[in-house]
Structure 1
Amino acid sequence: MIVERAKYDDLEEILDLQKLSYISEAQLYDDNSIEPLKQTINNIKEEFRNGIILKIHYDGQGIIGSIRATKSNDIILIKKLIVHPDFQDRGIGKKLLKYIERYYLSLYSNIEFNLFTGYKSSKNLYLYKKCGYEEFKLEKISEKISFIHLKKKIISNI
């Protein structure tokens, strides 16, 4: 498995993977209108221009995972950590999270990473907490969905 920066030509494949990966989240909340399922190619192109998108691919399988992030002041907002359903529970999400952290830590010495996930998304919460993220806010989005926001502060010696 190889992790590298996504290219512009990868965006459609990443968007297709995102929609496949978020079906289980939509089912968990009984809501097919969640943003990751409605996102357009133009939206992901904008994310590509304004941040970083990493991908992970596997021999003959194409892209099986991806993660996105943007920087605002001293905060890195991690968005849409996705792993193909057939490849989940193999450490791929953890690997992508570590790669995005290392990328930003190679550029900045004092940084905070923020991310969020649905309050029912126990597998996601387990992963993030295992990787050192701590809850700091609960945000109600709709009658069905609330997000748990998590953060991780890292000071490195560049």
Structure 2
Amino acid sequence: MGMSVTISTATEDDAEKILKLQYLCYQREAELYGDYGIEPLTQTLAALRAELGEGCVLVARLGEEVVGSVRGTVDSDGTARIAKLIVHPRMQRHGLGGRLLRAIEERLAAEREAKRFQLFTGHRSEGNLRLYRRLGYAQTGTEQINRRLSLVTMEKPVETSTFAASA
């Protein structure tokens, strides 16, 4: 009998698992852009632990194994910045990335009063761009980081009907 993937709030005990998964997942991005010095590959465990305390971090678990994660914060103007959406390579293309993204959106809207969602990805990351567009994100800007990488910023408003309490 197969196990189902559950999504929950990350705990301090998940920090090392998330960091290892992040390192695995960002290898493809590093290869795509020819840059193995990108922040997700150089982030320290201490920095990740600080993110656990500051923002909202969710994990996807298959049994005890962390197979996905996503992070988000909300600033004073209500912009939720979503980052580091990762899914283990063997679990990709099964809808888990979309489930994680929707879960963090719901959490940030309900608990942190987000008014809009914002995220970014590299201009060559076609799978990411397709996922974000499919889930309602629209491109709002592009910033050239270096000759190999431009970051595409995407946003969407919070759909208040989706998050309104039912009567």
TM-score, scaled to structure 2: 0.90
1:115 lines up with 2:112 in the alignment: no
Q: Which of 49, 66, 71 is residue 68 of structure 1 equivalent to?
A: 71
For residues 110 and 41 of structure 1, what CA distance do their matches in structure 2 show? Answer: 27
Whether contact under 8 Å (1:109, 1:155) holds in the other structure is no
2:18 counterpart residue number:
14
1:132 lines up with 2:136 in the alignment: yes
For residues 138 and 63 of structure 1, what CA distance do their matches in structure 2 show? Answer: 32
For residues 7 and 32 of structure 1, what CA distance do their matches in structure 2 show? Answer: 28
Where does the alignment leave 5 or more consecutive residues of structure 1 unmatched? Answer: none
2:49 counterpart residue number:
45
What is the CA distance between 1:155 and its match in structure 2?
A: 4.0
What is the CA distance between 1:59 and its match in structure 2?
A: 2.8
Matched length: 157
For residues 74 and 113 of structure 2, what CA distance do their matches in structure 1 show? Answer: 14
List 4+ stretches of structure 1 deviating above 4 A. Answer: none
Q: Which of 130, 149, 156 is residue 152 of structure 1 equivalent to?
A: 156
CA shift digits 1:17-57 (9 cap, x unpaired): 00000000011111111111011101111111110110001
2:59 counterpart residue number:
55
2:146 counterpart residue number:
142
1:77 lines up with 2:81 in the alignment: yes
Name whichever structure is richer in strand by fraction.
1
For residues 91 and 67 of structure 1, what CA distance do their matches in structure 2 show? Answer: 14
1:104 lines up with 2:108 in the alignment: yes
Over the residues paired in the alignment, what is the CA RMSD in angstroms?
1.3
2:32 counterpart residue number:
28
Where does the alignment leave 5 or more consecutive residues of structure 2 unmatched? Answer: none
SS of 2:111's partner is: coil
For residues 4 and 142 of structure 1, what CA distance do their matches in structure 2 show? Answer: 36
CA shift digits 1:44-81 (9 cap, x unpaired): 11111110110001136x00000000110210000100
TM-score, scaled to structure 1: 0.95
